[in-house]
Amino acid sequence: QKVSVEVLDHLEHLALVDFRDSEGVERLQKAIQFADQLQEVNTDGVEPMDSVLEDRWCLYLREDDVTEGNCTKELLENAREKLEEYFVAPPGNIPLPKLEERETFLQGC
Amino acid sequence: VSAALKEGRVTPTELCQRCLVLIKSTKFLNAYITVAEETALKQAEESEERYKRGQPLGTLDGIPIAVKDNFNTAGIETTCASNMLKGYISPYNATVVQKLLDHGAVLLGKTNLDEFAMGSGSTDGVFGPVRNPWSYSKQYKEKSVPKSLSEDKESDWVITGGSSGGSAAAVSSFTCFAALGSDTGGSTRNPAAHCGVVGLKPTYGLISRHGLIPLVNSMDVPGILTRCVDDAAVLLGSLAGHDPKDSTTIQDDFKPFELPNLTDVSKLSIGIPKEYHAPGLSSEILALWSKAADLFKNAGAKVVEVSLPHTRYSIVCYHVLCTAEVASNMARFDGLEYGHRSDMKDSTESMYAATRREGFNDVVRGRILSGNYFLLKQNYEKYFVKAQKVRRLIANDFLKVFMSGVDVLLTPTTLSDAAPYTEFIQEDNRTRSAQDDILTQAANMAGLPAINVPTALSERGLPVGLQFIGRSFQEKQLLTVAKWFEKQVQFPVIELEEVKRHDNGVFQHQKSASFS
């Protein structure tokens, strides 16, 4: 079954990337179809696997000691907009416009 | 060539110069995104000083290498072949890059790839596709239907495979002696097979990923591309080991090793997984695979057919897990701290959205959206968790086989030899990846080491490789078997005009085409 426009819109909001055109939406549909093949596999009683290294004690927490840092200058170098030691961002807490008000391909769906 | 450097028959600066000149004359391959000429020459000079003092840092001192452009390299642009990172100058070296430099290697430049390492052709980066050097080889030209007698380089060139195509092409065309790639679904082994070079995917957790711009955190590994198995062992020796900056590296001590020259294979058990006889496997490669199995059998090894029943679901599982992790990993690109930033100023969210709209290509955007879909609350169990369960089944398949006494698995690496570019782009990235990764993906799923060894030339005069998959952290055994096999098959050296022109003994001679 096809993905609803509401879900597509929701995805655009979550991912902050756009589908751009019908090809983009088709791509998602095909991806879902492809992934549905997983349902053929019997996974009763199988635990999900997070990491292939789960048997080894390597995913550890280290001591909370400062071992490096003081590289403010290097880190700011790659930012386009900055002021003193701050990254400058446009005003926050403003949600993306709703579907009807946004310039998006999904408007036509 | 390392011996040559030690004996003074050639100097690091000479070697570096020759590589740089060759890079320029093979520019049409589009293997390099950035050539770090000045810094490379400086490194070569420093190496020369060390040799003069009789204090080289090791086998790698003065050896020119190339690095895939998704590894951070201090002071050198790192783009991941994406608009999102164009102009991004890394403030630090990836651990593997640092290790190579600490061993005295000379970093020639950054190689081309599919955008953010997503793809199996090295055709989807913003800097254009990479051309397989074998397209211009005497061996390929002899076998292809003569189209025109001109030296037209625009004719049917073939792809390198991906996503580490640039690195594979660089090693294959002799512009460097080794290169770093990355391997998440086969991205090092696939182009290695198509370009006729050795491509090693180490065990997950052996080599640090710090500084490798991540695609799938639970499967990525740095990959090693070289012209012979011994070289791969040398490189592995300098790169493997625990890194406190990457908590997914194992803590065990790693001891670099030299590969023994195996003469007796009678104690070896080679497994042939029957599911790897995948639909679409060319009859040529099937025959080669069979011949290889016989080779081992005739030499006294135990060759058994084994079963990895969940193989065909590996690619579906990968599709879900990869897109899910990508959705998360790509979230860091918002234009605020680094990389491309849109001029949109209305709000933070709209700036992020516009930046990402402008910076990512279709493939990346597609995967992010798919990944987000699979991670939605209503889909999480059905897709993501399900895929994680299937992953365990796949990993267990391998465990069972190795526990039954098999030492190493022998499989094909690719379904066929390299396709012509015009044919390859007929299908979209996702379809191609799903087709091409089928034989290489499972090793990433289970975290196992795997290596492509160039085996023979196809009917069309293009390289075909076979893959060996080993047990976790048993790289020594894996590479020893690979080396034995390499010796048996005597894969031919590429005959390239450009290389011949610049050669005076250092490059073409097979022995010194490697550095160990």
What Cα–Cα distance (Å) separates residue A20 from each residue in A28, A32, A108, B8? 12, 18, 11, 59
pLDDT at residue B141, rounded to an integer: 87
> By C-alpha distance, which of B431, B451, B434 is closest to B443?
B451
Distance from CA of B208 to the nearest CA of A (A): 13
d(CA B186, CA B468) in angstroms, rounded, equals 13
Ordered by start, the domain boundaries in chain B are: 1-141+153-315+385-512
- B254 interface with A at CB cutoff 8 Å: no
DSSP sequence for A12-66: HHHH-----SHHHHHHHHHHHHHHGGGGGS--TTPPP-S-TTTTSTTS-------
Q: What is B18-78 written as a DSSP string?
A: HHHHHHHHTGGG--EEEE-HHHHHHHHHHHHHHHHTT---STTTT-EEEEETTB-BTTBB-
Residues 4-43 of A with CB under 8 A from B: 7, 10-12, 14-20, 23-24, 27-28, 30-32, 34-35, 37-41, 43
Confidence of residue A20 (pLDDT cuts 50, 70, 90): confident
How many CB contacts within 8 angstroms connect chain A with chain B?
A: 186
Under the banding of pLDDT at 50, 70 and 90, the label for residue A95 is: confident
Q: Computed over its alpha carbons, how large is the radius of gyration of chain B?
A: 22
Tell me how far the alpha carbon of residue A30 is from its chain's centroid.
19
Catalytic residue among B47, B82, B135, B163: B163
Among B207, B205, B198, B197, which Cα is nearest to B237's?
B207
The whole-model pTM stands at 0.93
Q: Which CATH superfamily is domain B1-141+153-315+385-512 in?
A: Amidase signature (AS) domain (3.90.1300.10)
B187 is catalytic: yes
Selected catalytic residue, list B2, B47, B68, B182: B68
Token couple for B5: 């450097």
Does B89 contact A77 at a Cβ distance shorter than 8 Å?
A: yes
> In this structure, which amino acid lies at residue B343?
D
Q: How far apart are CA B87 and CA B339, in angstroms?
A: 7
How close does chain A come to B409, measured CA to CA in Å?
A: 19
Is B238 considered catalytic here? Answer: no
CA distance B422 to B407: 40
Q: Clarify whether B516 is annotated catalytic.
A: no
Cα–chain center distance at A85 = 27
* 8 Å CB contact of A32 and B334: no
pLDDT digits (tens, 9 = 90+) for A67-85: 888 889 998 999 999 999 8
pLDDT at A1: 72
**Measured between alpha carbons, how far is B137 from B493 in angstroms, rounded to an integer?**
10
Q: What is the pLDDT of residue B512?
A: 42
Task: Kindly report, residue by residue over B110-149, the tens digit of the pLDDT.
Answer: 999 999 999 999 998 999 999 999 999 998 888 876 655 4
Per-residue confidence (pLDDT) for residue A108, from 0 to 100: 66
- In sequence order, what are the beta bridge partners of B269? B302
What is the mean pLDDT for each group of 10 consecutive residues in chain B (516 residues)?
A: 83 93 94 96 94 91 95 96 94 96 96 94 93 92 66 74 94 96 95 97 96 95 96 95 91 90 91 94 95 96 96 94 95 93 92 93 93 96 96 96 96 94 86 86 96 95 96 95 95 84 52 49
pLDDT of residue A62: 82
Among the residues of B360-492, which ranges form H helices? 362-375, 377-379, 386-403, 421-424, 429-436, 441-446, 475-489
pLDDT of residue B455: 96
3-state SS, one letter per residue, for B152-194:
CCCCCCEECCCCCHHHHHHHHCCCCCEEEEEECCCCCHHHHHH
B65 has which bridge partners?
Answer: B107, B178
- Residue A101's pLDDT band, with cuts at 50, 70 and 90, is confident
Nearest to B348 among A19, A24, A90 (CB): A90
Confidence at residue B510, expressed as pLDDT on a 0 to 100 scale: 40
Give backbone dihedrals phi and psi of B260, rounded to 5 degrees, phi first: -70, 155
The 10s digit of each residue's pLDDT in A28-46 is 999 999 999 999 999 999 9
**Assembly ipTM:** 0.93
pLDDT confidence of residue A57:
66
Q: B468: which 2 tokens?
A: 């060996």
